[in-house]
C-alpha cells in the first residue's frame, strides 16, 4: 500500500538544489531492442523464430537452439516474483541517494527470469505485471507492478522515477490560442498539475476559448510568442525555474508544397513559428530544466512536442509544413540528448491531421484535440518517449516500417 505523495512545500532558495544523477547507462546494441519498446510503452522480449522460446537478457543466439534468428516481439507481461531484496547502501550515486531501493527476480510465465525494479505493492510469491520503462538515464529497464490496481499506485517512489506524472508539477503550455493548447491545459489540470502556465501571444487580443483559461484556479495566462526570442527569454526569466513540464503546442499549419507557392515568405513563417520557436523555447527553458531534474516531487520531468506524423514522411499537400515538422523532429533528438543528463524526458506525440480549421479540406479520420490532450497526460504518466495519436498516425507508422517507398508514392495523391 503506497502512501500518497504530498504537495511539495515552497522551495527554500537557501538550500542547495539536488543535482540530477544518472543510473548506469551502458547497454549492448542488441539490448536497445528494449529501449525501442520502452519508448512506446510496449513490453517486448526476444523470441527465437526457430524454436519459439523467449530469451532474456538480450542475446545474439538462442540459448535453447543456437539460432541467430531472435526477434523482439510483444510478449506476455505476466510473471511471478521469486525473491526480492532492498538495496540499502548501493555503490552507484543515483541509487545511493534514493536508497532503500527494491529490486527482485521475476520468473516470467513465458520463460525467462528478469531482474526488475519493484513497485512497492509487489509481493514475493505473487503474480506481477512487467513493463519496460525508460529510467533517468534514458535507457530501458524492467519494472514489475502488481497485477491489479492498488491505492495511490502512481505515487510509488520508484515508479515516479520512471515517469513524468503531472501530479503536483508545474506545466507550461506554450500556445493557449489554439484548441490543442486549451485541451492540453484542461487535461493536465485534471491530472493534478499544480499550476499550468499558458502562453498566449499578445494576450490583450481576444481569442476563442479564452474563458476556459482566464480566472481559473491554477491556470495562469503568460505572455509568450515562441517565435520571438525576447518574448521567450522574458518569460523564462520570470518562470523558468518553475517549469517542470513544457508542452510545446505551437501550431502553424499552412497547406501547400513548393511549386504552387510564390517565394519563401510562408515557409519562413513556418520555420519561424515551428523550428525557430522550438529553438527559442529550448534555449530559454532547457538549461534550468536540465538542472532541476532531481529537484524533489516537482522536479523538472519532461518536454513534450506535438508533431505532425508527416515529419516522418512528407505529405506533398502540406509539403512545406511537413518539412518544418521534420526539422522539429530532428531537433527533438538533439534536445533529448542534451536534456538527458538532467533525466528530463523528451516525448514526441505524432498526430495525423487534427480536427482544426487549417485541416478543413482534409477528409476524416482526423484527430480530436481532446485526444491529443489525453495522450499527453497518459504518455507523461507512463513515461513514454514516442506516441502515435489517432488512426492516421498509427497507419503512417506501420506503412513507413513496411515500405517507405510505397508510402512516399501513396502520399503523392
Partner 1 sequence: MINSLRAPYDGVVIAAPVTIPYVRYSIESAQWWIGRALSALVAQAGIKVSDIDGLCVSSFTMGTDSGVGLTQHFGLCVRWLDTIPLGGASAIAGLRKAARAVQARDADIVACVAGDTNHVDSFRLTLENFSRFNQDAVYPYGAGGANASFALIARNYMRTFGVTREDVGRIAVAQRANALRNPHALMKAPLTMEQYLAARPISDPIHLFDCVMPCAGAEAFLVMRDETAASLGLPAARLLSTIERHNAFADDPMQVRGGWAMDVGELYAMAGVKPDDLDVVQTYDDYPVITMMQFEDLGFCGKGEGAAFVRQRDLTIDGDFPHNTSGGQLSVGQAGAAGAYLGLVEGLRQVLGTAGPTQVRNASLALASGFGMINYDRGLASGAAILAGPSR
Q: Judged by CB, which is closer to partner 1: 126, or 258?
A: 126
CB of 384 to partner 1, least distance (A): 19
Residue 146 to residues 88, 92, 130, 257, 399: CA-CA distances in angstroms? 22, 27, 9, 51, 35
For the bound state, the minimum distance from the C-beta of residue 28 to partner 1, rounded and expressed in Å, comes to 5
CB 110 within 8 A of CB 52: no
Min dist. Cβ of residue 87 to partner 1 (A): 5
Q: Which is nearer to partner 1, 14 or 89 (CB)?
A: 89
The nearer residue to partner 1, 116 or 267, going by C-beta atoms, is 116
Q: State in angstroms the smallest separation of the CB of 136 from partner 1.
A: 11
* Pick 134 or 267: Cβ nearer partner 1: 134
277 sits in which H/E element: helix 277-291
State the cell numbers at 133.
520503462
Is 85 or 264 the residue whose CB approaches partner 1 more closely? 85
C-alpha to C-alpha distance for 20 and 18, rounded to whole angstroms: 7
Which residue, 22 or 351, has its beta carbon nearer to partner 1? 22
Q: How far apart are CA 165 and CA 167, in angstroms?
A: 5
Cell output for 321 = 509544413
Nearer to partner 1, 118 or 235 (CB): 118
CB of 131 to partner 1, least distance (A): 14
Core vs surface per residue 252-289: b (16+ CB within 10 A) or e: bbebebeeeeeeeebbeebbbbbbbbbbbbbebbbebb
State the Cα–Cα distance between residues 5 and 39, nearest whole angstrom: 26
Residues near partner 1 (CB under 8 A)? 23-28, 31, 56-58, 63, 82-92, 94-96, 98-99, 101, 103-105, 107, 113-117, 135, 137, 139, 141-142
Between strands 70-74 and 195-200, the pairing is: unpaired
Please identify, using beta-carbon distances, which residue of 15 and 89 lies nearer to partner 1: 89
Q: In angstroms, give the least distance from the CB of 96 to partner 1.
A: 8
Residue with Cβ nearer partner 1 (86 or 398) = 86
In the block, residue with C-alpha cell 523558468: 240
Residue whose C-alpha cell reads 505515487 in the numeric block: 155
Q: Can you give the three-state secondary structure of 367-406, one letter per residue?
A: ECHHHHHHHHHHHHHHCCCEEEECHHHHHHHHHHHHCHHH
State the minimum distance, in angstroms, from the CB of residue 30 to partner 1.
8
**158 neighbors 94 (Cβ within 8 angstroms):** no
Output the smallest distance, CB 303 to partner 1, in A: 23
Q: Whole-number minimum distance, CB 69 to partner 1, in Å?
A: 20
CA of 329: how far to CAs of 152, 163, 257, 346, in Å? 35, 22, 19, 11
Alpha carbon of 102 to those of 118, 123, 163: distances in Å? 6, 11, 17
Amino acid at each position: 500500500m503506497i502512501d500518497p505523495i504530498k504537495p511539495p512545500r515552497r522551495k527554500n532558495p537557501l538550500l542547495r538544489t539536488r543535482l540530477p544523477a544518472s543510473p548506469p547507462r551502458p547497454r549492448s546494441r542488441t539490448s536497445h531492442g528494449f529501449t525501442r519498446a520502452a519508448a512506446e510503452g510496449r513490453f517486448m522480449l526476444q523470441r527465437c523464430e526457430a524454436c519459439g522460446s523467449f530469451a532474456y537478457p538480450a542475446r545474439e543466439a538462442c540459448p535453447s537452439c543456437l539460432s541467430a534468428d531472435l526477434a523482439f516481439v510483444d510478449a506476455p507481461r505476466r510473471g511471478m516474483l521469486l525473491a526480492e531484496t532492498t538495496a540499502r547502501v548501493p555503490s552507484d550515486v543515483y541509487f545511493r541517494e534514493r536508497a532503500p531501493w527494491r529490486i527482485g527476480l521475476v520468473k516470467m510465465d513465458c520463460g525467462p527470469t528478469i531482474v526488475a525494479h519493484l513497485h512497492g505493492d509487489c509481493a514475493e510469491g505473487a503474480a506481477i505485471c512487467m513493463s519496460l520503462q525508460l529510467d533517468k538515464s534514458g535507457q530501458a529497464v524492467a519494472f514489475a507492478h502488481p497485477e491489479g490496481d492498488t491505492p495511490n499506485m502512481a505515487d510509488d517512489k520508484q515508479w515516479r522515477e520512471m515517469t513524468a506524472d503531472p501530479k503536483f508539477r508545474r506545466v507550461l503550455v506554450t500556445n493557449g490560442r489554439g484548441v490543442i493548447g486549451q485541451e492540453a491545459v484542461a487535461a493536465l489540470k485534471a491530472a493534478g498539475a499544480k499550476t499550468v502556465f499558458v502562453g498566449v501571444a499578445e494576450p490583450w487580443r481576444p481569442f476563442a476559448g479564452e474563458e476556459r483559461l482566464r480566472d481559473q484556479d491554477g491556470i495562469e495566462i503568460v505572455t509568450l510568442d515562441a517565435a520571438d526570442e525576447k518574448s521567450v527569454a522574458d518569460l523564462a526569466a520570470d518562470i523558468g525555474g518553475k517549469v517542470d513540464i513544457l508542452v510545446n503546442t505551437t501550431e502553424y499549419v499552412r497547406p501547400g508544397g513548393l511549386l504552387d507557392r510564390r517565394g519563401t515568405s510562408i515557409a519562413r513563417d513556418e520555420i519561424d513559428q515551428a523550428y525557430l520557436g522550438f529553438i527559442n523555447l529550448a534555449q530559454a527553458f532547457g538549461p534550468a530544466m536540465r538542472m532541476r531534474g532531481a529537484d524533489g516531487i516537482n522536479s523538472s520531468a519532461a518536454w513534450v512536442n506535438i508533431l505532425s506524423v508527416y515529419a516522418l514522411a512528407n505529405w506533398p499537400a502540406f509539403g512545406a509544413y511537413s518539412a518544418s515538422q521534420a526539422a522539429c523532429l530532428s531537433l527533438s533528438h538533439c534536445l533529448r540528448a542534451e536534456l538527458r543528463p538532467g533525466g528530463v524526458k523528451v516525448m514526441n506525440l505524432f498526430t495525423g491531421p487534427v480536427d482544426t480549421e487549417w485541416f478543413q479540406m482534409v477528409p476524416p479520420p482526423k484527430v480530436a484535440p481532446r485526444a491529443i490532450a489525453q495522450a499527453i497526460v497518459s504518455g507523461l504518466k507512463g513515461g513514454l518517449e514516442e506516441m502515435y495519436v489517432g488512426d492516421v498516425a498509427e497507419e503512417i507508422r506501420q506503412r513507413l516500417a513496411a515500405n517507405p517507398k510505397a508510402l512516399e508514392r501513396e502520399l503523392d495523391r
